[in-house]
A and B are shown apart, each in its own frame.
Chain A
Amino acid sequence: MSTLFVAARAVHYASAMLLFGELVFVIAVARPAWSLARDAANVDGDDIHHRLLAVSRWSVIASVVSGASWFAAEAAVMSGMPVGQAMNRETLGLVVGDTSFGHVWALRLGLVITLCAVLRALRRSAGDLRRSRLAIGAAVVAAAYLGSLAWAGHAVAGQGPDDYDRIVADVAHLLAAGAWLGALPALVRCLGAIHALGGAAQITRRYTNLGVASVSVLIASGSTNAWYLVGDVPALFGTDYGRLLLAKLGLVAAMLGLAVANRGTLAPRVAGGDDRAVRLLRRNAMLEIAAGIGVVIIVGALGVTVPATHQSPVWPFEHTLSWQRIQQAAWVQLILAAAGTVACIAGVIVVRAVLGRPPRLSLAALAGVIVPAGLFAWLLAVPAHPTTYSTAPIRYTADAVASGAALYASHCIACHGGDGQGDGAAASSLPIRPASLTERVPNRREGDLFWWIAHGITGTPMPGFESQLNDMDIWELIQFLDAQAEAQNAMAMTDRVKPLRPVVAPDFTFEITGRPQESLARQRGSRVTLLVFYTLPESLPRLRQLALKERALKAAGARVVAVPTSASGSAVDAEITGGGESIFAIASPKVADAYAMFAGRADRSKEGAKTHVEFLIDGHGYLRVRWIGIPEAASDRMAETLGQIDLLVHEPPRAPVQWGHRH
């Protein structure tokens, strides 16, 4: 079924492009060329004109049939039913009336009917002026028909001003492709029928100019969409969608190569009156059409393939390029900068030579590109694994960290030690001591960490755990390792706001009676959070103070969330209230366990010593200030707290924590 969907899409794209391209060819290439070559014998303009427009009739039929098939297949996908079942009035009515796709398709049906009418009028018309006006009218309708395909695609689903860029780029891309590819069959037919070489030279020259303009637009519109893709190179090689895209790039490059040869070598010869050159040009154009058919089929397939960002890329190579290896060595970076400059200059020289008439290839310049590229590859290559670019399916939450901590305690602590410094009980018997996890983990991709935990590290005593831990376990373990490294940074936290390396606060959900479930991540951007982990009965005086001052704290820009460190906490909230919002939250016990890691205690292997700890989390999601222990009677903790809150509220803005994840 999916093959038919791909075929319907490919035929539809091809026919829409043909409809537009034929008209563009007639208006911009053929007619001006003929009016110049009219005096030459044997140029039967009317005959070619009619032959061109006959193709349009077939294109319209193919377009309507494939458009209807596409619609039917889409209705099946949307409703989740097989195609046969989906062909009922209710479903089709929903698709046409209630979906954006349905609205666009109805509009396009109207456009193709209009196009039919204009083409009929054109076929029956006489007189140059009327014909050229009708041809332009038809071209405009055909452009709308082709360009509106952009609204059936991805560019419309986003939000915000970026959307307009992408829609404009998509429409420009479709029209440029139509003008270039769609006009090729017309070019082939023209070159085959023309006997007077004056006509051939004109047509070739005009078509070449059209081609150059179209390719420029294709590249510009392509790069606009590519701007949104920076960082997705792993997806290019690691997903089916990406590899299909690479195949499309290959075919387009082949077409460009043929076009460059046409322009640089053959077109001048045609202008010089070489008959054989006309035949070669025609043959090249037919090869371009063949490649173009391949491109259109791939575009059809891309529409039904799972898009790259919905999948974790599976890296297919043994190595990848990474700046990580050379981060320390300044001299290496200088060499690479020099090599890069040489490669760019040599690249420009190569391209200029290839685009000359005739095309030349400068071997020295080519070497100037290849050698630096090889240097880059050699210096930047690091070993890679299939999961190198995988991303965790879970977020950095207290639940995940606490689960990961339990797994670490049962599988890792023996060698890596409680603090990850490689000083576990069994470590001394290992031939290679484990490296410091807190130093290494932040500089490694989580996908690499996943592979090493699952399969071990060859050449070291680190074993693979995939038989004991499932995928989710390993991702939770990695969240714990991140927290372990962050806890190291957290040691530097004090009871004053400092510009220090920010420590990310693990997310968690909590509930305050009478309110729906909330999460820490949702507080970011609005307020500072004072997170209090309390014990009973020692924390009571401080809790009373906070509850009474809740309004003042809120006015200062802070939200107080008090979480118990033990199970007996929930008895408190009934007694203590300041008349404002309740500060007492119920949360999973794992939250206190996870945050105990950030309590600054050097000896964390002790079974979670429960003490009263308060954290200030800034509006961007970072842990900034920490008070350990219950405030002494003599100290004015409330004034201190308000002071630190004030400092955080008035800080200059900084990048918020990235909570993004891939489903």
Chain B
Amino acid sequence: MKIDVKRLLPCLLLTGWVATSASLAGAHASLDRAEPAVGSAVHGSPTELKLWFTQRLEPAFSKVQVLDRSGKQVDKGDPEVDRAVATLLRVSLPKLAPGRYRVKWRVLSVDTHVSAGAFTFDVVP
């Protein structure tokens, strides 16, 4: 079987791409947006906190907590990944008093990468 060098050339000119097949874009779920939005002030207490991520999540290891100023957990402790939208993580909230609240999230994306983060939002009367 003779190899035709002319046909090989275009392939070989792309030699530079060989290594990058491991993909620089190696996925990692980062926070796309939230409701209430990151750093925003919301009038009246929201019934749930929703977080949208850039990758699909594994429900078994994706968690979120909402803490008040003193560090006490105030959410209802039922974080779940939406069945229809695998990039949405939500947790329900009771009636929140006005003040600043801190959200701490830790999620596992389907490609086995873990990411975590935090942000605050304010509840104003």
Contacts and interface: CB of A to CB of B under 8 A. Distances in A.
Contacts of A241: 24, 26
Given A78-B108, A157-B109, A209-B3, A170 B25 contact: no
A516 B39 CA distance: 16
B24 to A, nearest CB: 4
Contacts of B22: 225, 245, 248, 299, 302
A372 to B, nearest CB: 16
A229 B23 contact: yes
Given A78-B108, A152-B112, A216-B8, A348 B19 contact: no
B125 to A, nearest CB: 11
Interface in A194-212: 209, 212
A351 B13 contact: yes
Nearest to A512: B43
A631 to B, nearest CB: 30
Interface string A288-321: 0000000000010010001111100000000000
A242 interface: yes
A154 B58 contact: no
Nearest to A205: B1
A663 B28 CA distance: 10
Nearest to A256: B15
Contacts of B13: 347-348, 351
B48 to A, nearest CB: 9
Contact of A170 (B1, B17, B21, B108): B21
Nearest to B12: A351
B85 to A, nearest CB: 10
Contacts of B73: none
B71 interface: no
B18 A218 contact: yes
Contact of A78 (B9, B40, B114): B114
A158 B55 contact: yes
Contacts of B15: 219, 253, 256
Interface in B87-121: 87, 106, 108-115, 117
Given A79-B61, A307-B113, A663-B31, A154 B25 contact: yes
B84 interface: no
Contacts of A98: 58-60
A216 B11 contact: yes
B112 to A, nearest CB: 5
B41 interface: yes
B56 A173 contact: no
Interface string A242-283: 100110110011001000000000000000000000000000
Which secondary structure dominates where chain A touches chain B?
A: helix
Contacts of B37: 509, 517, 519
A490 to B, nearest CB: 25
Report, as a range, how many residues of chain A touch the other chain: 35 or more
B106 A80 contact: yes
B23 A310 contact: no
A517 B121 CA distance: 12
Contacts of A302: 22, 26
B20 A225 contact: yes
A153 B5 CA distance: 34
Contacts of B3: 209, 212
A382 interface: no
A229 B59 contact: no
Contacts of A256: 15, 18
B12 to A, nearest CB: 6
A411 interface: no
A249 B3 CA distance: 25
Contacts of A299: 22
Nearest to A224: B21
Contacts of B109: 157
Nearest to B24: A308
Interface in B23-37: 23-31, 33, 35-37
A519 B55 CA distance: 22
A153 B112 CA distance: 7
A235 B55 CA distance: 20
Contacts of A223: 14, 17
A245 B61 contact: no
A78 B29 CA distance: 13
Nearest to B48: A516
B77 interface: no
Contacts of A355: 5, 8-9, 12
Contacts of B113: 154, 157, 307
Given A156-B110, A310-B30, A516-B46, A252 B18 contact: yes
Contact of A220 (B11, B28, B59, B115): B11
5 contacts: A80-B106, A157-B109, A166-B23, A222-B19, A236-B20
Given A159-B56, A519-B33, 17 more contacts: A78-B108, A154-B23, A209-B3, A212-B8, A215-B11, A219-B15, A222-B14, A223-B14, A228-B23, A235-B24, A249-B16, A307-B25, A308-B24, A310-B115, A355-B5, A509-B36, A517-B46
Task: Please name the 8 residue pairs, one residue from A and one from B, whose CB atoms are nearest each other, closest first.
Answer: A307-B26, A249-B19, A222-B21, A157-B111, A98-B60, A663-B30, A223-B17, A157-B27
Interface of A: 74, 77-80, 94-95, 98-101, 152-159, 166, 169-170, 173, 209, 212, 215-216, 218-226, 228-229, 232, 235-236, 241-242, 245-246, 248-249, 252-253, 256, 299, 302, 306-310, 347-348, 351-352, 355-356, 399, 509, 511, 516-517, 519, 586, 588, 662-663
